Chains A and B, each alone.
Chain A
Amino acid sequence: MNIRAVSTTLVVAVLVIAVVAGVGVYLVVQQLSTPTVAEKPLVIGFSISISGDFAVPGRKQLEGIELWKDWINSKGGIYVKDQNKYYKVELKYYDDKSSKDEVIRLYEKLINEDKVDILLSPYSSTLALTAAGITEKYGRLMVVVGANSDTIFKQGYKNIVGTYTPASKMLTQAIDILLEKVQNPSVAIIFKDDAFAKSVAEGAKAYAEQKGVNVVAFEMYPRDAKDLSPILTKIKGLNVDAILGGGHYEDEVLLVRQAKELGINVKLMSLLVSPSLPAFYDALKETSEGILAPSHWEPQTKPKITVGPSIDEFMTQFRQKWNSEPSYHSAAAFAAGLYITAAIEKAGTLDNAKLRAAFNDLDITTFYGRLKIDPATGNQVGHELVLLQWQGGQKQVVWPREVATAQLIFPKPSW
């Protein structure tokens, strides 16, 4: 080999090394460079019922999301890896007046005009089912909060993620209690004509029959029912051990009032939604005594948190901001925000399809409890319910026993 060839090889080698090293250093510097704050915020869009039938729980849900927004922004925002940027969060929402037509119009608007980054569902299964159709047709991710009808997750949609325990499981704990306390119990299941209540009722009926409980009445009442006495009169004649079911806030309060007026006394009464709301006691006072309901969350629970604030922090900040008590609707909404944050941090991108995939492997525990989905349907499988009971004007957790704050009152006192 002559000197010329050697030197040429050397020069080439040095150049190659220099380029490789340069690229390497550049990449390392890129990695180490401090992330910047994005100029534009990350926009989370949704419609929410500020008026109409779902206004009471809808507002509670909205308060939870608003608080999460403040919380995440106070932490500097959400880090998106592929852009090496921190995003501040902004909410874009409209009042859907609890109407399906409005939901369709507003989700079209959120996707096409407002071009929001991530969508949250409206409150209630019936509206979430409507919104899910729109987000699905555009192939956009929607985190479903405040809605858990199994119908939503049975459609075969590929872009939804649940945060509530499925509706079909909501009355199983009440049935367990009944089986423990009463021999050969009989129950009446009554429910509103609505995606959510129907899933709950069907799930409860299947579970009860499987456990050998006698379901003597299975009655649906119209969505706009202003009088439930025909159904209740029928149930009175059946002399059941328990009444299970309901729908949402207004109709459940009506159900309790009319059951009292008709003097229907049962050993156990479990509703679905209203008892978890502070407004329930305000409306019914001592009539609420002994009424049970499943709850997606109560502040007395003590999960082993892996992500987000503690329950105490949440409670303090919530009371400070809203001057009222949170319900599970608020807690789940805040947790949905934490869930989205975790997915973005895991996926490192805002690409909706990749985010949806990231949810499949997420298993986190927030102050609201555990969150983990079934990858195929997006339905929530990690989260657990508690059962609450109104006792002397206080909401107490009575089931499961490990987290109970008070003894179950059984049988329910007479009206």
Chain B
Amino acid sequence: MEAGKQRLKIGLILYVLLLSIAALPPLTGNTALIAYFWSFLQMLALVMSLNFITGFTGYVNFGHIAYYGIGAYTVAYLTTMTRVDPYVFIPAAAITSAALAYLIGRPILRIRGPYFAITTLGLGEAVRVIIVNIPAFNYSEGLPIAAYFTYNVISSYIAMYTTVATLFILTLYLRRTRFGYMLESIREDEDAAESMGVNTAKAKLAAYVLSSACAGVIGGLTAITHVYAHPGFFSITLNVSVLASLLMGGGGTLLGPLVGAGLFFFISDALLIRFPYLHLVIFGAVVMAVTLALPRGLSHLIYRYPKISGKIADA
């Protein structure tokens, strides 16, 4: 069995394992455990959604957080206006983020490489500055929504769980279809892809819109769980963490986001407890080491050790 297929198989096994394990916390009724797993699923969902654009097409995106924040504000604003259950507005969050991604993506996806990265770096900050100047969004205070609905820890968990499951299916779809191969061809050599007849502009835009719409959903769900949408959602630190996880795990793969998010979440948490002041330094060193040793991410280890991974996949 060739390494790529092995990786896909290992990825499949791990996701099924994860989704089975992640189904357990709500059954225990232990709110601390549920909250902890929710945070992990949220991180994983963000990495998986960023994977669609940054992983598959290789466009490094620092502006993912803009759509995450827009999703959060969409849900919170509509909830305060209508006093309806906020989950109703999750589709609205997806649509708003997708529409804005379409409008913004059309011009900025013409820019390539580091220039694209720099442009998106400004995007999250620009959206934040616009939002904190909008009176309807209560300036820099944001929109608290705790008074508008009855929070239920299980619903919040199920919503994030379903999102991860959906992202899993979407990733699988991209790994197996023509659309996915088009995106990968853009990552490998955009000019070659174009000369081979791939409509790169359209494919990139589709991936960007899909990725951003997912970020909007995750943002909306996070606003519900935090019962608050505020400018802190546009956090460049979060964007960098998501990006680092993706690069560490390996972009454009099914397995990568899971490995990256898992390492990031559990390692950074463990480091945070042990080294409250130095944890970022240590974590930074880990990310650097991984990127230097394995530029295509940890999931690429499979290509290095095909025999071992073959055994795992066959097991």
Contact = CB atoms under 8 A, between A and B. Distances in A.
Given A151-B141, A198-B139, A157 B147 contact: yes
Contacts of A112: 31-32, 35
B235 A101 contact: yes
Interface string A107-131: 0110111000000000000100110
A324 B141 CA distance: 33
A230 B32 CA distance: 48
A130 B139 contact: no
Contact of B232 (A99, A111, A155, A194): A99
A136 interface: yes
A100 interface: yes
Interface string B132-151: 10000001111011110001
B145 A223 contact: no
Given A99-B232, A101-B235, A112-B35, A137 B141 contact: no
A194 B141 CA distance: 6
A132 B35 contact: no
A76 interface: no
Interface in A170-219: 193-195, 198
A99 B233 CA distance: 11
Interface residues of A, number: 29
B31 to A, nearest CB: 4
A132 B147 CA distance: 10
A133 B141 contact: no
A43 interface: no
A222 B131 CA distance: 12
Interface stretch (B64-72, B223-231, B282-290): B223-231
Contacts of A157: 146-147
A71 B29 CA distance: 38
A104 interface: yes
A377 to B, nearest CB: 12
Nearest to A105: B39
Given A112-B32, A132-B146, A136-B146, A223 B140 contact: yes
A104 B226 contact: yes
B35 A101 contact: no
Interface in A326-347: none
Contacts of A195: 141
B31 A101 contact: no
A220 B228 contact: no
Contacts of A193: 132, 139-141
A137 B227 contact: yes
A137 B146 contact: yes
Contacts of B226: 104, 133-134
B157 to A, nearest CB: 13
Contacts, number: 61
Interface in B78-134: 132
B228 A130 contact: yes
Contact of B227 (A101, A133, A156, A220): A133
B140 A133 contact: no
A384 B139 CA distance: 29
Contact of A113 (B32, B151, B235): B32
Contact of B141 (A104, A108, A111, A129): A129
Contact of B146 (A109, A133, A198, A220): A133
A222 B132 CA distance: 9
Nearest to A94: B276
Interface in A207-248: 220, 222-223
A111 B151 CA distance: 15
Contacts of B230: 100, 130
- For B132, B139, B226, which residue has the most chain A Cβ atoms within 10 angstroms? B226
Nearest to A157: B147
Interface string B260-293: 0000000000000000000000000000000000
Given A104-B226, A112-B31, A222 B146 contact: no
Interface in A134-177: 134, 136-138, 151, 155-157
A376 B32 CA distance: 31
B258 to A, nearest CB: 23
A111 B31 CA distance: 9
Interface string A47-62: 0000000000000000
Nearest to B226: A104
Given A133-B227, A136-B227, A222-B132, A155 B146 contact: yes
Contact of A133 (B31, B132, B145, B235): B145
Nearest to B38: A108
A4 B102 CA distance: 100
Nearest to A224: B140
A199 B227 CA distance: 21
Interface in B1-60: 31-32, 35
Given A100-B230, A101-B232, A136-B227, A129 B151 contact: no
Nearest to B228: A133
Given A156-B147, A194-B140, A108 B235 contact: no
A138 B34 CA distance: 14
A155 to B, nearest CB: 5
B232 A133 contact: no
B144 A129 contact: yes
A111 B132 CA distance: 30
Contacts of B232: 99-101
Nearest to A155: B147
A324 to B, nearest CB: 25
A151 B230 CA distance: 15
Given A134-B226, A194-B140, A195-B141, 10 more contacts: A100-B142, A100-B228, A101-B232, A104-B226, A130-B230, A133-B145, A137-B146, A137-B227, A155-B147, A156-B147
5 contacts: A109-B32, A112-B35, A133-B145, A133-B226, A155-B146
User: Which 9 A-B residue pairings sit nearest by Cβ, starting from the closest?
Assistant: A137-B151, A133-B146, A112-B32, A133-B227, A156-B147, A136-B146, A113-B32, A112-B31, A100-B232
